[in-house]
Amino acid sequence: METVECIRPDYNKPNYDESKIAPYTLEDPLTFADGTKLKGPEEWPKRRAEILEIFAKEMYGQEPPKPEVLVTELVDEKVGALAGFAVRSQYKMWFKADKSGPCITWIVFRPRYAKKPVPVILFLNYRGNHELVSDPDIPVMTAWSRNGDQAKNHQALEESRGAFCKSDSNTAFPIGSIIARGYAVMSACYCEVSPDPVWNEPDPQYSQQTFAYTGVFDLWGKRDESRTDNITALGAWAWALSRGLDLAERIPELDTKKSVVTGCSRLGKAAFIAAARDERFAVCVPNQCGGGGVCVAKRDFGEVPGTEVVNFTHWYCKAYSKYAKNPPKLLTFDQHLLLASIAPRRVLVEGFGPNNWMDTEAEYIACKAASPAWEFLGLPGMPGNGYPDYYDTSCIGPYLGYVRRTEQHGIAAIDWMWMMDFARNAFEGK
């Protein structure tokens, strides 16, 4: 029987008092769940598979199956986009041979004058490809969208075109610099994958409990509500990123052996999950992904299981709710394990602050706890001499790194710079 001391009475509210952080222990990434220590690097794939299964059963739900068919169609291409320096392509993607059912629209920008295939950065965006650049040939997204400054009645607005190019935006898409650095970049809107309604949506037709499981969820049949490990929205968005990489593999101008998966906030979580599950992603850069992403949950500070399972019921499987009442005592795993599962590939975690809800120190702690996995595989772990100050890059190593900045929530130009520098070093073997 659960005892009183195993319940934080206000567990559905964020804790912002560091004095109330209870002692906790993080599991060793180099020890199997049965307590057996790994003997050598040859056992790492088995441990990695064990970690992924833990998260599939207990947090993010089972990984969606690969589609039986993947139909991709180039619907528009502009040679000489971005003042002549890029080729901009738009693709439609279906998962049925007859092009019925869910469809995702991908946009791809690549350097026009590249002499050989180029590295590619993949990410999901929030309200449509039309927000990335001011290009009238990119249709305004018609799928359901979250209401806000750029969307009304759950529809994106024409005036949101090129929103990411605005100099005062918290989220930037410095496409000219990305192209100039020799990268291609591709994106799709996560709402075309599956919608992301708020927990208190007033219109019942858009309820988290039902509407969230539409879109690509239609491919996977009727949900069995008796299961505690059903596919989740985060799992679906991660799945879509892998399908984006499938498309990239069909574009000869892209070098998918040099792929970077990124995303901001909940879409940083999706990128993190995608990289853990799909070993084709060479580099992962989760940006400001907060609790439920890289942050260790046992620290029980800011966004934690108790708030996650109330506000974001569709992001996590039902099994995760049993840990909400006291993460330090009840959790038998934590996010550093999923981070470690990406080894020996490369990860740069980007945080920001000051913002207690998105506990960036918990991200740093996860990185330190995951670092032994790289060292076990004969690679350098995360460098540095403690939790770094803002803009301090001393904790960015060649395989695992952590960096944070000030200002607002959103992927900013400096985040892209750190990302491209990290990827360049990876792809040039530094």
CA 219/CA 197 separation, integer angstroms: 20
Select from 294, 357, 364 the least CA-distant residue to 14.
Answer: 357
Q: Which amino acid is at 46?
A: K
Assign 212 to helix, strand or coil: helix
8 A C-beta contact, residue 36 and residue 344: no
Could you give phi then psi for residue 303, rounded to 5 degrees?
-75, 110
**172: in domain:** yes
Judging by beta carbons within 10 Å of its beta carbon (0-12, 13-18, 19+), is residue 127 exposed, middle or buried?
Answer: buried
Distances (CA, A) of 377 to 33, 53, 397: 19, 21, 15
Assign 349 to helix, strand or coil: strand
**42: in domain:** no
Assign 179 to helix, strand or coil: helix
| Chain position carrying tokens 């947090």 | 59
Question: How many distinct structural domains can be found in the chain?
Answer: 1
**26: in domain:** no
**20: in domain:** no
| Chain position carrying tokens 């004058």 | 113
Question: Looking at residue 1, what is its pLDDT?
Answer: 32
Select from 45, 99, 108 the least CA-distant residue to 72.
Answer: 99
How many degrees, rounded to 5, is the angle at CA 175 between CA 171 and CA 179?
150
Select from 386, 301, 294 the least CA-distant residue to 18.
Answer: 301
8 A C-beta contact, residue 350 and residue 415: yes
CA 90/CA 123 separation, integer angstroms: 15
8 A C-beta contact, residue 370 and residue 27: no
Q: Which amino acid is at 306?
A: G
The token duo for 155 is 């529809």
8 A C-beta contact, residue 223 and residue 168: no
**343: in domain:** yes
In 182-334, alpha helices (H) = 190-193, 233-248, 266-277, 305-311, 327-330
Question: Looking at residue 40, what is its pLDDT?
Answer: 98
- As a 3-state breakdown, the chain gives helix, strand, coil percent values, each rounded to 5, of 35, 20, 50
The token duo for 429 is 């073997």
Q: Could you say which DSSP state residue 67 is in? A: P
Give the structural domain span for 198: 52-427
CATH number at residue 159: 3.40.50.1820
- E strand or H helix that includes residue 79: strand 71-81
**93: in domain:** yes
**32: in domain:** no
- Tens-level pLDDT at each residue, the chain (430 residues): 333 345 667 888 999 999 999 999 999 999 999 999 999 999 999 999 999 999 999 999 999 999 999 999 999 999 999 999 999 999 999 999 999 999 999 999 999 999 999 999 999 999 999 999 999 999 999 999 999 888 999 999 999 999 998 888 899 999 999 999 999 999 999 999 999 999 999 999 999 999 999 999 999 999 999 999 999 999 999 999 999 999 999 999 999 999 999 999 999 999 999 999 999 999 999 999 999 999 999 999 999 999 999 999 999 999 999 999 999 999 999 999 999 999 999 999 999 999 999 999 999 999 999 999 999 999 999 999 999 999 999 999 999 999 999 999 999 999 999 999 999 999 997 6
CB atoms closer than 10 angstroms to residue 69: 10
Q: Residue 411 contacts by C-beta under 8 Å, 6 or more apart in sequence? A: 171, 172, 262, 264, 287, 288
Distances (CA, A) of 303 to 31, 286, 324, 345, 408: 28, 16, 11, 27, 17
8 A C-beta contact, residue 215 and residue 243: no
**179: in domain:** yes
Per this entry, what is the length of the chain?
A: 430
Model's pTM, two decimal places? 0.97
The token duo for 85 is 């320096």
Half-sphere exposure of 63 (CA within 13 A, CB side): 18
